[in-house]
Amino acid sequence: MIKANRSSILEPLRFGGQVDAVSSDPSRPRPTPTIEDALPAASGTCVAPAAAEPQAGPSARQPLRGILKSVTNLHLATDGDGNEQQYWPAISEQFPNYERFWQHLVVPMTKRIDMPPGSAGRHERRDNIADDLWNVSYINYSVFLNLVGAFEHLSQPVMLSAGNFYTHLASACDLTEEFLLRVHLLIAECRGEHVPELDPDTKDEFLNKLDRWYDKEYAKAYEHHHRKGNAMIVRLAPRDKILCKYHERQDQAWKEYKRFSRPIREYRNKVVHDVQLGTIRVGKINLMPRIDKIQKYAAIAAPQDALKNPDILKADFVVREEQMFSDFRTFKTCLNALWEKPTADLRSLLYADRNPALLNKYALTRAAKDGLEPGNKRVGNPERPDA
pLDDT at 250 over 80: no
42, 137 in Cβ contact below 8 A?
yes
Q: Of 61-65, 96-100, 312-316, 337-341, give the lowest mean pLDDT range.
A: 61-65
20 neighbors 329 (Cβ within 8 angstroms):
yes
In the chain, the N- to C-terminal Cα span, in Å, equals 70
Residue 281 burial (10 A CB sphere; 0-12, 13-18, 19+): middle
CA distance linking residue 311 with residue 288, whole number of Å = 15
Percent of the chain with pLDDT over 90: 31
Q: What's the pLDDT at 314?
A: 78
Least confident of 25-39, 226-240, 306-320: 25-39
Mean pLDDT over the full length of the chain: 74
pLDDT mean over 67-82: 85
pLDDT for 318: 79
Pick the most confident of 105-109, 219-223, 369-373, 377-381: 105-109
For residues 167 and 216, the model is more confident at: 167
Pairing assessment for the beta strands 317-319 and 285-289 based on DSSP bridges: antiparallel
Share of the chain above pLDDT 70, in %: 64
Of the given ranges (173-182, 273-282, 319-328), which has the lowest mean pLDDT?
A: 273-282
Residue 68 has pLDDT above 70, yes or no: yes
Q: 16 or 149, which is more confident?
A: 149
pLDDT exceeds cutoff 50 at 8: no
Q: Average of pLDDT values for 372-381?
A: 46
Q: Average pLDDT for residues 2-21, to the nearest whole number? A: 40
Q: Which residue has the higher pLDDT, 332 or 241?
A: 332
- 377 falls in which pLDDT band (50, 70, 90)? very low
Q: What is the 3-state secondary structure (H, E, C) of the chain?
A: CEEECHHHHHHHHCCCCCCCCCCCCCCCCCCCCCCCCCCCCCCCCCCCCCCCCCCCCHHHHCCHHHHHHHHHCCCHHHHCCHHHHHHHHHHCCCCCHHHHHHHHHHHHHEHHHCCCCCCCCCCCECCCCCHHHHHHHHHHHHHHHHHHHHHHHHHCCCCCHHHHHHHHHHHHHHHHHHHHHHHHHHHHHHHCCCCHHHCCCCHHHHHHHHHHHHHHHHHHHHHHCHHHCCCCCCCCCCHHHHHHHHCCCCCHHHHHHHHHHHHHHHHHHHHHHCCCCCCEEECCEEEEECHHHHHHHCCCHHHHHHHCCHHHHHHHEEEHHHHHHHHHHHHHHHHHHHCHHHHHHHHHHHHHCCCHHHHHHCCEEEECCCEEEECCCCCCCCCCCCC
Nearest to 212 by CA among 204, 228, 232: 204
Q: What is the pLDDT of residues 280-306, one digit of tens each?
A: 777 777 787 777 777 776 666 677 777
pLDDT, position 153: 92
Per residue in 90-121, pLDDT (tens digit) is 999 999 999 999 999 999 999 988 888 878 88
332 CB contacts (<8 Å, ≥6 apart)? 91, 93, 94, 95, 147
Q: Tell me what pLDDT residue 309 has.
A: 74
Is pLDDT at 83 greater than 60 in this prediction? yes
Q: Please check whether residue 45 is in contact with residue 39, taking contact to mean a CB–CB distance below 8 angstroms.
A: yes
Lowest average pLDDT, out of 53-57, 246-250, 324-328, 361-365, goes to 53-57
Residue with the bigger pLDDT between 215 and 175: it is 175
Cβ–Cβ < 8 Å for 327, 337? no
Q: Do 326 and 344 form a contact (C-beta atoms < 8 A)?
A: no
Q: 319 pLDDT exceeds 70? A: yes
Higher-pLDDT residue of 132, 160: 132
Confidence of residue 53 (pLDDT cuts 50, 70, 90): very low
**Residue 28, pLDDT score:** 44
- Residue 182: pLDDT band by 50, 70, 90 thresholds? very high
pLDDT value of residue 219:
77
Least trusted range by pLDDT, from 6-20, 97-111, 166-180: 6-20
Q: What is the pLDDT of residues 29-47, one digit of tens each?
A: 444 443 333 334 444 444 4
Whether the per-residue pLDDT at 156 is higher than 90: the answer is no
Q: How high is the pLDDT of residue 227?
A: 64
* CB-based contacts of 52, cutoff 8 Å, min separation 6: none
- Kindly give the pairing relationship between strand 317-319 and strand 364-367: unpaired
Please give the angle made by the CA atoms of 308, 314 and 316, to the nearest 5 degrees.
90
More reliable by pLDDT, 4 or 386: 4
- Distance, CA of 186 to CA of 369 (rounded, Å): 25
Polymer length in residues for the chain = 387
pLDDT at 289: 79
